[in-house]
């Protein structure tokens, strides 16, 4: 792409949830049983100009399908959830989850919500996606000490977060597997692994498009081995080679940056594009994304319960 794109805000919402809980705990308020215990007392603050998130990779190779793509035809593929294109959704990463929104799919923070929340959503007929960070280390997560310091690179724009060296697939695989095991143990139906486009950022590591493809396919395989569907987060430049490995897409601001056509391979495959805009009004993009078959809505940057669907 020939433009610079601002920092993706999804992790900001997760951090806001930690701040809200810390404030409630310090004032003696009783926590709702829908939230798991938090481990941080303050959210990271910006440390400088927000990094760009994607850049063109001229001549990036389109490799042949990986073993992980073929594995989707195994027993786990038949057992797991296969979401359909056009399915409405709700994405809430901050505040106590509002379980009353009448949509078939919820996407919520995996660490911050308990199995009880997932059960309540299932009882209402919802499928539930588990948000976790797969591309950066987060100091405020309960498993933070398990990540080797040698795999932590530059900050991604927020205190407490550092890019991971995704070339170290063998060392990161068990850490991500543990996170996905957490999602499965809580009853989630799918995972949304964030920051799957580190190779387009200034991470402190010489990451390549091939490194990202290998890592993203490893992530997809881990999810599928656990019977979980998995979404490709952003990473529009690699949609074509990865659409066979992932079950849906989660995208932020493709309409604002005129990138939505890049996601149509998911729709062509019958897989949903779960899409949000933060700065545009519904009237500025909904007609276009409806024609594309996207599951679009306007959300606050904080990713609280408010939503305006297309």
Length of the chain: 310
User: In which element (H, E) is residue 173 found?
Assistant: helix 169-185
Q: What is the pTM of this model?
A: 0.80
- 273-277/248-252 β-pairing: parallel
> Has residue 98 got a pLDDT over 60?
yes
| Tokens 């294109």 belong to residue | 85
| Higher-scoring residue by pLDDT: 34, 237 | 237
| Tokens 């500025």 belong to residue | 284
Distance CA 282, CA 298 (A): 6
Positive or negative, the CA dihedral 7, 156, 51, 19 is: positive
> Has residue 142 got a pLDDT over 80?
yes
User: Residue 266 corresponds to which tokens in the numbers above?
Assistant: 């998911």
Nearest to 200 by CA among 215, 190, 219, 222: 215
pLDDT bracket for residue 211 (50, 70, 90): very high
Distance CA 7, CA 101 (A): 28
| Higher-scoring residue by pLDDT: 291, 9 | 291
Distance CA 27, CA 290 (A): 45
How large is the average pLDDT for residues 62-84? 55
Distance CA 234, CA 215 (A): 15
Strand partners, 191: 130, 230
Dihedral angle computed from the Cα positions of residues 99, 101, 103 and 109, in that order, rounded to the nearest 10 degrees: -50
b or e along 196-216 (b: 16 or more beta carbons within 10 Å of the residue's beta carbon)? bbbbbbebebebebebbbbbb
pLDDT bracket for residue 159 (50, 70, 90): confident
Q: What percent of the chain has pLDDT over 90?
A: 73
Nearest to 113 by CA among 188, 50, 54, 177: 188
| Range in 57-61, 118-122, 191-195 with the lowest mean pLDDT | 57-61
Contact between 165 and 205 (Cβ < 8 Å) = yes
């Amino acid at each position: 792409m020939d433009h610079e794109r601002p920092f993706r805000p999804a992790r900001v919402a997760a951090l806001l949830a930690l701040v809200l809980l810390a404030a409630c705990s310090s004032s003696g308020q009783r926590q709702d049983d829908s939230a798991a215990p938090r481990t941080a007392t303050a959210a990271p603050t910006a440390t400088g100009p927000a990094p760009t998130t994607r850049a063109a990779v001229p001549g990036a190779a389109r490799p042949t399908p990986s073993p992980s793509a073929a594995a989707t035809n195994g027993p786990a593929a038949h057992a797991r959830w296969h979401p359909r294109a056009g399915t409405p959704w709700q994405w809430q990463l901050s505040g106590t989850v509002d379980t009353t929104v009448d949509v078939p799919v919820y996407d919520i923070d995996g660490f911050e919500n308990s199995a009880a929340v997932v059960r309540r959503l299932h009882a209402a007929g919802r499928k539930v996606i588990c948000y976790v960070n797969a591309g950066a280390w987060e100091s405020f997560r309960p498993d933070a000490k398990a990540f080797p310091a040698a795999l932590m690179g530059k900050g991604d724009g927020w205190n407490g977060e550092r890019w991971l060296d995704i070339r170290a697939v063998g060392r990161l695989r068990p850490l991500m597997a543990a996170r996905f095991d957490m999602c499965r143990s809580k009853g989630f139906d799918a995972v949304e692994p964030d920051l799957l486009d580190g190779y387009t950022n200034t991470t402190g590591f010489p990451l390549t498009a091939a490194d990202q493809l290998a890592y993203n396919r490893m992530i997809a395989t881990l999810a599928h081995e656990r019977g979980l569907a998995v979404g490709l987060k952003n990473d529009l430049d690699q949609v074509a080679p990865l659409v066979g490995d992932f079950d849906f897409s989660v995208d932020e601001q493709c309409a604002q940056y005129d990138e939505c056509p890049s996601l149509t391979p998911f729709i062509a495959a019958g897989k949903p594009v779960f899409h949000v805009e933060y700065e545009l009004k519904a009237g500025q993009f909904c007609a276009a994304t409806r024609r594309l078959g996207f599951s679009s809505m306007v959300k606050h940057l904080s990713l609280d319960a408010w939503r305006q669907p297309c």
